[in-house]
A and B are shown apart, each in its own frame.
Chain A
Amino acid sequence: MKKSSLKRMFTGGMAVAMAVTMLGCGKNADSSASNTAKSKSGTKNSSTSAKSDDAKAEKDGDGPLVIWTQGNSIKEDAEAWGAANGVDVDVVVIPFADLQTKLKQQITDPKTAPDVYAITKDYVKDWVERGVNLDLSEEFPDDAKNYIDNTYKDLVALGSDDKGDLQAVTAEYPVGMMYYNREIAKNILGTDDPDEVGKALSDVDQWPDLYEKINDAYSGKVKMFGTTQNLNKMLSNRREKPYVKDDVFTVTKDMANIFEINKQIYDDKMFLTEKEDDAYFSGWNTDAFFVDFLPSWGYSSKFKPQVDGKEGAGKWGMTTPPYAYNRGGTYFFITKTTSHKNNAWDLVKGISVDTQKLVDVQKGKDGFASTKEANKILVDSGYEEPLLGNQKVFEEYQKQAAIQEKLPTDVVTKYDGDIESFMNDAVINYANGSMSLDDAIKGLGTQVQSAYPELTVKYNY
């Protein structure tokens, strides 16, 4: 009958509501109660780090070690580390779009802040400057010095504050490379040697001519570039000055140049897609484009899954791009207010900068590590990658790393991520003809102004 079912629904609902209330309120109580047994291990470490800091004999607090990340791979790593070392690790995965927001909301409150958090490169500067992090140079001076000595300059610079104190570490050196299709290279350039190919594409002004040749040879079926997004990540890296200085955002001639380059690329239809979509992914196997720009981690996340066991295998090579670029990478921070200092640092070390771990991980994904020590081991292995036509991939990375490390490190600001994302839109607006250059650039300025009212926008192009 309606009456009794209504009543049932009501009482059921009330019961559920009460249960939920208790669950919701008791969130913190629950976790600490059930975990006092597990996390006694303040100093129990695995012997994976080269030098260990017994520095502050502070005991770690109760409760699980909480780490916030957006990625599944870090989740798996952290949980594995926790299991191997008897530490209770609680990984909270927050979607990329929300991570910044949620972190900002909760970082200042010790009750809700994580112990460790992982941020992608674009936002690292912002977090370094926030002053919410554990000063690694102070807390773990030996380890910090070790890392600084051993790691590439730009990685260290990004993760350090004005005083030069280390706040964040990373596991990879995201060396920016250029992938090229060997057969097309042989056909058009007469060679598929990486150095030669790199040279041939190094001058932006030569691109249209090169493309004409490709067009003729393949009757328009082959495009020069995979995605404009990847191309632009490369182009925008060549800044001599930071986007924002002293709270002034300036649109420079260099930036306007990127707009023009894109316009040419659109006019001549030199690219396959704007973003990485299905057409792009399958294009690796169908000779749909000649080059694309991917960093070292792009191998395992984008290239290999598409090409492994398919027609594209062995058909591609990797070489130096026209302009060196540094893209992506994840940095680990420890929160100042953490009660798990030692465990947190051990975890971070264990999943990022420990040499053996680095070698193992990067070997498995054909990537490049953040420490020179680890990379030497990788290069010395002389490994030849079949999917890249037996190219000595680690050697290639190292060659490029030498170039890349020379890039100026003071051009990074905390606004970069958003500025580049606005620029993407503005560039497309101009390049596909829907706006004039001035309007598109003005649009960029408006967006930056709206997102960051504290900045002044200047146009100098």
Chain B
Amino acid sequence: MGKSAQVSKGHPPGMQKEISVKRGKKGRIDKNRYGLFFLAPFFIAFLIFGLYPILYTLYLSFTSYDGFNNPVFIGMKNYTKVFTDPLFYEALKNTVIMWVIGAVPQFIFAFLLAAVFTYNKVRGKGIFRAIYYLPRLVTAVSISALFNQFLSYPSGIVNQLLTSLNIVGEPVNFLSSVPFAQGSIGLIHWWMFYGNTMIMVMAGMTAISPSLYEAAKVDGANGWNLFWKITFPLLRPVTAFVFLNSLVGGLQSFDVQQILTGGLGAPQGKLMTVVMYLYNTAFKYNNFGYSAAIAYYLFFFIAIFASFSVMGRLKEGRESS
């Protein structure tokens, strides 16, 4: 209010006009309209490269399409097929198993390390964090190829080490036995992500006010109690977030398994993930329509978990704005 009075006194007529435009109702909306312009490129690009393909995939899921002849509308057939497809559920099972094998150690290490770093003065903390985090940044394909070499039979590095240290008598064929192969995938996932999870958990841990701990200690609580009664419960939102994120990511696994098995989920298809099944159906067997249905069915599973995450973020977003 005061501003207007000041300004109109000492400024040339032109300026005055501008200001009154700004302060008038019309003026406010004019400037605010710019917001739409700023948002336009994003949404236009999204409409073209994001929404349109998604809707097109939806359309294709109701057709039979082999990649060159025109799509033929077949209604819900693809969906009835995928709902009862043993190969889909097998792939889903594999995907989840491999995720669990990796996620369990991943979370244990993440929490353990987060606690160690948050509650202790560790020298070289920055370097440690950096080294633990690094694997996550690296190309999954490269890492898989690398581990493929390490685990190769009989003269990959792991086998060389195991035999020379006499831990095993003969080299182990990791990638040809189902438990070892799935375990290897789990190992790679653990290695790639525990650092990332650790950092996210740390963000949550550091937010917990130390005074809570002080108060509890006064009441005689020991380290164990402190963790389970204070830290863990307060970390629930972070834990949930990290867990959901990991699960959603795990459901989408593709790169690592494709490289390690050359595309067919060997041995015996036990490493076949849902996305690999999707990819093969479309690009190997040219059933694009069915593949689209697989994509949407998978999305159904992902959406369930992702929606919890979105709701959490929404709360976060609203709270900050």
Interface residues of A (CB under 8 A from B): 97-98, 100-101, 104-105, 108, 273-275, 277-279, 418, 421, 425, 428-429, 434, 446-447, 450-453
Contacts and interface: CB of A to CB of B under 8 A. Distances in A.
Interface in B283-318: 283-287, 290
B208 to A, nearest CB: 33
Nearest to A97: B263
A273 B267 CA distance: 13
Given A104-B67, A277-B152, A421 B264 contact: yes
B290 A453 contact: yes
B154 A278 contact: yes
B6 interface: no
Contacts of B67: 104-105
Contacts of B155: 278
A425 B266 contact: yes
Contact of A451 (B152, B178, B283, B285): B285
A274 B290 contact: no
B280 to A, nearest CB: 8
Contacts of B87: 446-447, 450
B214 interface: no
B75 to A, nearest CB: 15
Interface of B: 67-68, 81, 85-87, 152-155, 171, 173, 176, 178, 262-264, 266-269, 281, 283-287, 290
A98 B263 CA distance: 10
Contacts of B171: 279
Greatest chain B CB density within 10 A among A104, A275, A418, A450 is at A450
Given A277-B154, A453-B287, 9 more contacts: A97-B263, A277-B173, A278-B152, A425-B267, A425-B269, A434-B268, A450-B285, A451-B285, A451-B287
Nearest to B269: A425
A325 to B, nearest CB: 23
Contacts, number: 55
B267 A428 contact: yes
List the 4 closest A-B pairs by CB distance, nearest first: A451-B285, A101-B283, A279-B154, A425-B268
Nearest to B152: A278
Contacts of B283: 98, 101
A275 B284 CA distance: 22
A446 B86 contact: yes
B153 A277 contact: yes
A83 B283 CA distance: 35
6 contacts: A98-B283, A108-B68, A277-B173, A279-B154, A425-B267, A453-B287
B274 to A, nearest CB: 13
Nearest to A425: B268
B60 to A, nearest CB: 15
Contacts of A97: 262-263
Contacts of A446: 86-87
B38 to A, nearest CB: 16
Contacts of A452: 285
Contacts of A418: 285
- Most-contacted residue by chain A among B152, B262, B263, B266 (CB, 10 A): B266
B307 to A, nearest CB: 30
Contacts of B266: 425
B275 to A, nearest CB: 16
A46 to B, nearest CB: 36
A97 B283 CA distance: 10
The residue in B178, B262, B284 that gathers the most chain A C-beta atoms within 10 A of its C-beta is B284
Given A97-B263, A421-B264, A275 B290 contact: no
